């Protein structure tokens, strides 16, 4: 079971070339699966701490509580899902069961977005999440993506733009058919892990956002390698060497917020390579503290989540 083809479409939708490399998509799939498995393990531990055997949306939101921007994207997506599901139910009579499944009792309906906001309000003791309820946090990452993709699509023919629009629809759960995604997510799990429709919808979106962030970081790596001035030039001299990446100097980078501004909008026209993806995630998981060169410990993959 593989999502390589779907990830290739997502990569194009996020700024890669028209036909992304399948080997690059395979590397991204491996990273995303590892990340979502880790995310699920953390959510399961939190659910057990509150005395539940079933992972709920509150467990996912609790993991993401430290990043309001990523929380905002997820809550906004839940609102979009509400609108889509109600429109579908009102026009064709289908989709009602998906909404009812979210309710606390059989046959009841509840808004996905309201369910998320209700939990965030219950843990919000300082009012830090109030702007999130109205989606008023400025999101520099989304703004950077929009600027880059606008520049990339301006020169497209009608046929290429049509293909691009189709790529933008790609996800791990097309039309929210979650069975394949559930099997892919739980393929290495030995226990009987049960996930509700809502939790799978949330994990699907987080997997999608993880692909987006990997593509963003890989494009930064390529921009840095071509010698263009970017925000990466602000980082200190290298403390590690990645033999898989053909670059003399390797700068340690931070999070996605260190993205360049608006130059080289067509940077995604050449395919992202597996080496660039590996270098991107290596930088993300690198120890970026001022004392990193003197530290005996590193920041392993299982301590930092791209989606949280």
Residue 143's CB is within 10 A of a number of other CB atoms, namely 12
pLDDT for the residue 245: 47
In the block, which residue shows the tokens 């080496």? 275
Q: Domain range for residue 171?
A: 4-303
pLDDT for the residue 76: 92
> Comparing C-alpha atoms, which of 14, 43, 42, 44 is closest to residue 28?
14
Does residue 217 belong to any structural domain of this protein? yes
- This prediction has a pTM of 0.79
pLDDT for the residue 295: 60
d(CA 143, CA 140): 5
pLDDT for the residue 294: 61
| pLDDT tens for the chain, residues 1 to 308 | 789 999 999 999 999 999 999 999 999 999 999 999 999 999 999 999 999 888 999 999 999 999 999 999 999 999 998 988 888 878 775 544 444 444 444 444 578 999 999 999 999 988 888 888 777 788 899 999 999 899 889 888 999 999 999 999 999 988 778 889 999 999 888 777 788 889 999 999 999 999 999 999 999 999 888 765 444 433 333 334 444 544 433 333 333 333 333 333 354 468 999 999 999 999 888 766 666 556 655 545 446 788 87
Two tokens, residue 162: 């049509």
Does residue 308 belong to any structural domain of this protein? no
d(CA 241, CA 146): 32
Two tokens, residue 142: 């989304």
Does residue 136 belong to any structural domain of this protein? yes
Does residue 55 belong to any structural domain of this protein? yes
pLDDT for the residue 137: 84
> Comparing C-alpha atoms, which of 112, 90, 94 is closest to residue 102?
112
Does residue 251 belong to any structural domain of this protein? yes
Q: What 3 state SS string does the chain have? A: CCCHHHHHHHHHHHCCCCCCCHHHHHHHHHHHHHHHHHHHHHHHHHHHHCCCCCECHHHHHHHCCCCHHHHHHHHHHHHHHHHHHHHHHHHHCCCHHHHHCCCCCCCCCCCHHHHHHHHHHHHCCCCCCHHHHCCCCCCHHHHHHHHHHHHHHCCCCHHHHHHHHHHHCCCCCHHHCCHHHHHHHCCCCCCCCCECHHHHHHHHHHHHHHHHHHHHHHHHHHHHHCCCCCHHHHCCCCCCCCCCCCCCCCCCCCCHHHCCCCCCCCHHHCCCCHHHHHHHHHHHCCCCCCCHHHCCCCCCHHHCCCCC
Two tokens, residue 281: 């995630």
d(CA 40, CA 46): 10
Q: How many domains does the chain have?
A: 1
Does residue 12 belong to any structural domain of this protein? yes
pLDDT for the residue 94: 52
d(CA 239, CA 292): 8
Does residue 125 belong to any structural domain of this protein? yes
Q: With beta carbons less than 8 A apart as the criterion, state whether 225 and 247 touch.
A: yes
């Amino acid at each position: 079971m593989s999502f390589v083809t779907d990830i290739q479409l997502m990569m194009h939708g996020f700024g890669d070339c028209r036909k992304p490399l399948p080997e690059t998509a395979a590397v991204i799939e491996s990273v995303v699966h590892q990340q979502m498995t880790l995310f699920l393990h953390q959510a399961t531990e939190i659910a057990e701490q509150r005395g539940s055997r079933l992972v709920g949306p509150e467990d996912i939101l609790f993991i993401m509580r430290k990043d309001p921007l990523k929380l905002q994207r997820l809550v906004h997506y839940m609102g979009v899902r509400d609108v889509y599901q109600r429109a579908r139910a009102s026009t064709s009579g289908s989709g009602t069961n998906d909404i009812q499944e979210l309710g606390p009792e059989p046959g009841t309906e509840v808004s996905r977005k309201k369910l998320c906001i209700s939990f965030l309000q219950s843990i919000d003791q300082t009012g830090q999440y109030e702007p999130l309820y109205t989606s008023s946090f400025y999101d520099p990452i989304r703004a950077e993506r929009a600027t880059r993709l606008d520049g990339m699509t301006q020169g497209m023919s009608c046929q290429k733009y049509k293909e691009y629009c189709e790529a933008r629809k790609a996800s791990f759960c097309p039309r929210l058919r979650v069975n394949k995604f559930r099997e892919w997510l739980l393929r290495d799990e030995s226990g009987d892990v049960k996930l509700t429709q809502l939790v799978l919808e949330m994990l699907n979106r987080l997997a999608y956002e993880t692909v987006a962030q990997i593509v963003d970081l890989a494009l930064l790596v390529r921009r840095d390698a071509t010698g263009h001035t970017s925000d990466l030039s602000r980082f200190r001299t290298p403390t590690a060497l990645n033999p898989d990446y053909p670059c003399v100097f390797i700068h340690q980078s931070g999070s996605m917020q260190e993205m360049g501004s608006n130059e080289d909008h067509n940077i995604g026209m050449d395919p992202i390579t597996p080496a660039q993806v590996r270098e991107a995630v290596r930088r993300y998981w690198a120890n970026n503290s001022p004392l990193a060169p003197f530290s005996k410990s590193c920041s392993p993959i299982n301590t930092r989540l791209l989606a949280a």
